[in-house]
């Protein structure tokens, strides 16, 4: 797990990679910070505000506008359930609701043991394959709930004994 000092060094490194006259590339900075840390902690936003001279309110506005930014770490596995119109019509919400109730997820969609984070997302652009899920960046279409539970069981077996 990274420390606050590590995160400050990471942010300073990212800021150092951007030309001094171009410190307003906030989205680029946020993207790089999230890529390196997996999420953007509140203390990182505070530090970025100081280093870039940008009000924290602007940074929070960007974070809330773009849903891809995370303020908490993900579970070791990441499952996205598409909720676009085609997927919804093919039962994606039912799949999502069964997953949430069966996995005892917290308010952020992460299991207590950190095994998985489940999120509902807007259309992923694979409507002809509805319903669609993306597990650890691997898209699967025409999924059934049983396929997902089998995949999760397989991931659990490969989880290296971590968690429950």
Annotated binding-site members for [2Fe-2S] cluster = 82, 87, 123, 127
* Euclidean distance between CA atoms 84 and 122, whole angstroms: 5
Q: What is the DSSP letter of 110?
A: B
How many CB atoms within 10 Å of residue 54?
17
Task: Write the secondary structure of 138-164 as one string of H (helix), E (strand) and C (coil).
Answer: EEECCCCHHHHHHHHHHHHHCCCCCCC
* Euclidean distance between CA atoms 45 and 74, whole angstroms: 18
Q: Residues 147, 140: contact at Cβ < 8 Å?
A: yes
In terms of DSSP bridges, do strands 138-140 and 133-135 run parallel, antiparallel, or are they unpaired?
A: antiparallel
The verdict on whether omega for the bond into residue 131 sits within 30 degrees of 0, i.e. cis, is yes
Annotated binding site: 82, 87, 123, 127
């Amino acid at each position: 797990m990274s420390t606050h000092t590590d995160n400050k060094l990471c942010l300073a490194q990212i800021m150092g990679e951007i030309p001094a006259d171009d410190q307003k590339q906030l989205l680029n900075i946020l993207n790089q910070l999230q890529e390196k840390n997996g999420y953007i902690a509140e203390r990182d936003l505070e530090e970025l505000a100081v280093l870039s001279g940008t009000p924290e309110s602007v940074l929070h506005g960007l974070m809330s506008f773009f849903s891809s930014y995370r303020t908490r770490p993900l579970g070791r596995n990441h499952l996205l359930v598409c909720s676009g119109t085609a997927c919804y019509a093919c039962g994606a919400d039912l799949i999502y609701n069964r997953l949430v109730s069966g996995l005892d997820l917290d308010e952020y969609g992460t299991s207590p043991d950190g095994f998985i984070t489940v999120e509902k997302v807007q259309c992923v652009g694979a409507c002809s394959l509805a319903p669609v899920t993306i597990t650890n960046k691997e898209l699967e279409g025409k999924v059934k709930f049983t396929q997902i539970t089998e995949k999760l069981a397989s991931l659990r077996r490969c989880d290296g004994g971590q968690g429950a």
